[in-house]
Amino acid sequence: MRPYPLLVLLTALFSCASRAEVVAEASSPGKVLRVQLSIDEGRASYSVLRLGEVVIAPSRLGFLLRDTEKLERNLQLASQHSSSFDSSWEQPWGERRHVRNHYSELRVRLSETIKLKRSFDVVFRLYDDGLGFRYEFPQQDQLSDVIIDDELTEFVVAEPATAWWIPAGEWNRYEYLYQRTPLAEVTQAHTPMTIRSESGLHIAFHEAALVDYSGMWLRRTEGQRFRAQLSPASEGWKVRRKAPFHTPWRTLQIADSAGGLYQSDLILNLNEPNVLGDVSWFQPAKYVGIWWELHLDQTTWASGARHGATTENARRHIDFAARNGFRGVLIEGWNVGWDGAWFGNGNDFDFSKATPDFDLRAVAAYAKSRGVHLVGHHETGGAVSHYERQLDAALDLYRALDVDVIKTGYVADAGQIERNDGDGRVHREWHDGQWMARHHLKVVREAAKRRIAINPHEPIKDTGLRRTYPNWVAREGARGMEYGAWGNPPNPPEHEINLVFTRMLSGPMDYTPGILSLQGRGQAIQTTLAKQLALYVLLYSPIQMVPDLPEHYEKHSTAFQFIKDVPTDWAETHVLNGEIGDFVTIARKDRGSDDWYLGAGTDEHGRMLPVTLSFLDPGRRYTAEIYRDGDDAHWRTAPFEFVAEQREVSSRDRLLIRLAPGGGQAIRFKALPMRSRR
Ligand code: NOJ
Ligand code: CA
């Protein structure tokens, strides 16, 4: 017999009956999204509705602070203010030229009713395709030195969902294969984390404008309830700031389709406008390099008999770039310090001193004579204070040699960044903690002063800061092509399709597509030849590497033509179809011509994707230069089966895109001259 059934029922009823009161609310401009702020016995929460349906159930807001009471209880609404904004801005480079920034804003001030009477603001910005909110800490005597032990922001997903995610707080930073699991089985995830609900709603959780704060991981606490878990600082807290300050935006992109997520400009819009002014000195471009041969272990970063970065080898690559119209040449391992265990031990690096077999000045002069630009390289091995001490000199050197893009590197296990404040102690920091957020911006700002663009590997995640600092042009921050060389396991066929709807939502990635030899170090790259071409369209970056060995491109000269042609800067971008992890087709219009490009890719399953060409400019005719999988192509058994063919098309035509298992397709729509009208 169950004891006291009535009492159990009454207690249950009582605790379910919400005493929460909605105290403020706002809708997006087209009334698609609605946010409600409630106070429930002094605790604040927000909920999100889309077209009247609850998407995010009441989710708590607040902080745990050091040496003082938590900032989460005894709250009341002190004031609220609504406003709206609508304007467009132009990207100096990007996936599209013009971006509309159209939102409604709700600002609420929450104040404690007793004791310390502290206050903070929560600002919501609502777009039709997503929202962001952030905390703002005003100046106040009771809370000036803010030490955040934990951010208590929650995200309670209302509907059962499937999630695509990588683990956060693990040693390999962002370099994990995406897992697809029920949302209720996620442990702790990096953002962007993308989910699809049972009713087909797609949501991507991320953040925008991560400045002087630590990166947010999503920790599942129960069911589909997630809490912000900030990347830790070596001091034991998560973040320390002086008020006034504000947090990054916590963002949710919300769409009916996976493609809708990719189309959203939410993250960029929530960042501050360009502070650098004219950045036309940065030129989106492709670059080759002494790179893949290192990953194949044909040559070494270390000096000695097999050293890759020799003057001679550099000249060979400069010639290859000049011959084929590529702007940049990256040379890794040219400087002193690569000889030890540089993994996690970068204190030997000298960023201004070349090895004896490499004549930096002569190589730079030769590049210049051939109309090619060197791409600089700074690998830190995670010894970041050591790098910072040399930063000015290292950047000045590159500036003097006309190097205007630098690839930086932070190879070290997560949590093992070496910080040395000169106090005789070594602090260990996370790649995405507050200290590294500051470091990255320091490098980007110092580089900008010298008109140099930055492309970090093993970076902090992208949160759209390229809008504010358009010299922060790309980064790694996911498993790149290099895993095809030595990854165990290598990247499977679905990997790049997963990236489009997860990692790529955050911004450009230096993935380094285009390994036409389809061969790593004793293992095959798990794609077809045509898919390697499609990746130049699918995985956006204003700088794209052409990474394979020159002799491999010469062997695949037909496919190579597409790599020579494809631009890296776009006027428009349209996702034509796509499902996370399964397939995707993207069309982009070249910024520098009337041509359009299309990339399509699939996972391990072959597919037929009908596509209407209505994105093409009406009334215009094009030669479609099609690079497709051959009829028997298969990533495992016949990856080189490949066909290049042409046909004339217009915006009224349809194409049936046939993708082999693990395959892809790339098309250049070359605009034909306009017929003059008589
Ligand atoms: C890892 C980077 O992803 C790769 O591109 C680079 O070659 C090595 N670090 C060495 O810096
Ligand atoms: Ca799949």
pLDDT tens digit sequence for 633-658: 999 999 999 999 999 999 999 999 99
The strand pairing partners of 163, in sequence order, are 181, 195
Q: What is the pLDDT at residue 1? A: 36
Number of residues written out for the chain? 678
The single-letter DSSP state of residue 346 is G
What single-letter amino acid sits at 254?
A: I
Share of the chain above pLDDT 70, in %: 97
Is there an atom of ligand 1 within 6 Å of 175 CB?
Answer: no
Give alpha helix (H) positions in 296-433: 311-324, 360-369, 384-400
pLDDT per residue as tens digits for the range 86-109: 999 999 999 999 999 999 999 999
Q: What's the rounded Cα separation, in Å, for the pair 380 and 525? A: 28
pLDDT per residue as tens digits for the range 262-296: 999 999 999 999 999 999 999 999 999 999 999 99
For 432, residues 6+ apart whose C-beta sits below 8 A from its C-beta are 173, 214, 215, 231, 460, 461
- Centroid of ligand 1 to alpha carbon of 293 (angstroms): 12
Confidence bin at 467 (pLDDT 50/70/90): very high
Side-chain-facing half-sphere of 567: CA atoms under 13 Å:
26
Residue 14 has pLDDT above 70, yes or no: no
User: pTM for the whole thing?
Assistant: 0.96
Q: What is the pLDDT at residue 677? A: 54
Chain-centre distance for alpha carbon 163: 18
Is there an atom of ligand 1 within 6 Å of 289 CB?
Answer: no
Is there an atom of ligand 1 within 6 Å of 302 CB?
Answer: no
Q: What is the pLDDT at residue 18? A: 60
Helix H or strand E segment including 512: none
72 and 63 Cβ atoms separated by less than 8 Å: yes
DSSP state string for 20-66: -EEEEEEE-TTSSEEEEEEEETTEEEEEEEETTEEEEEEEE--EEET
Mean pLDDT of 499-520: 98
Q: What's the rounded Cα separation, in Å, for the pair 471 and 276? A: 8
Nearest ligand (C-alpha, residue 458): 1
Q: What is the pLDDT at residue 5? A: 43
- Centroid of ligand 1 to alpha carbon of 330 (angstroms): 11
pLDDT per residue as tens digits for the range 483-506: 999 999 999 999 999 999 999 999
What string of H, E and C letters represents the secondary structure of 133-186?
EEEEECCCCCCCEEEEEEECCEEEECCCEEEEECECCCCCCCCCCCEEEEHHHC
Q: Atom 4 (ligand 1): residue with closest C-alpha?
A: 457
pLDDT per residue as tens digits for the range 287-310: 999 999 999 999 999 999 999 999
Q: Which atom of ligand 1 is nearest to the CA of 409?
A: 11
pLDDT per residue as tens digits for the range 551-566: 999 999 999 999 999 9
Helix H or strand E segment including 13: helix 5-16
Distance between terminal CA atoms of the chain? 95
Residue 205 has pLDDT above 80, yes or no: yes
Q: 332 φ, ψ to 5°?
A: -95, 140
Q: What's the rounded Cα separation, in Å, for the pair 46 and 74? A: 16
Q: What is the pLDDT at residue 21? A: 96
Residue 16 has pLDDT above 80, yes or no: no
Structure tokens at 276: 């650098």
Task: Tell how strand 417-419 and strand 427-429 pair up.
Answer: antiparallel
- Centroid of ligand 1 to alpha carbon of 478 (angstroms): 12
Pocket test for ligand 1, best of 300, 301, 332 (most atoms within 8 A of CB): 332
- Centroid of ligand 1 to alpha carbon of 34 (angstroms): 44
Residue with the two structure tokens 């709603």: 201
The single-letter DSSP state of residue 676 is P
What single-letter amino acid sits at 262?
A: Y
pLDDT per residue as tens digits for the range 42-71: 999 999 999 999 999 999 999 999 999 999
Sheet holding 216-222, edge to edge: 21-27, 33-40, 43-50, 53-60, 154-157, 225-230, 216-222, 188-189
Residues catalogued as catalytic: 482
Is there an atom of ligand 1 within 6 Å of 457 CB?
Answer: yes
For 499, residues 6+ apart whose C-beta sits below 8 A from its C-beta are 178, 478, 509, 511, 539
pLDDT per residue as tens digits for the range 344-393: 679 999 999 999 999 999 999 999 999 999 999 999 999 999 999 999 99
Is there an atom of ligand 1 within 6 Å of 411 CB?
Answer: yes
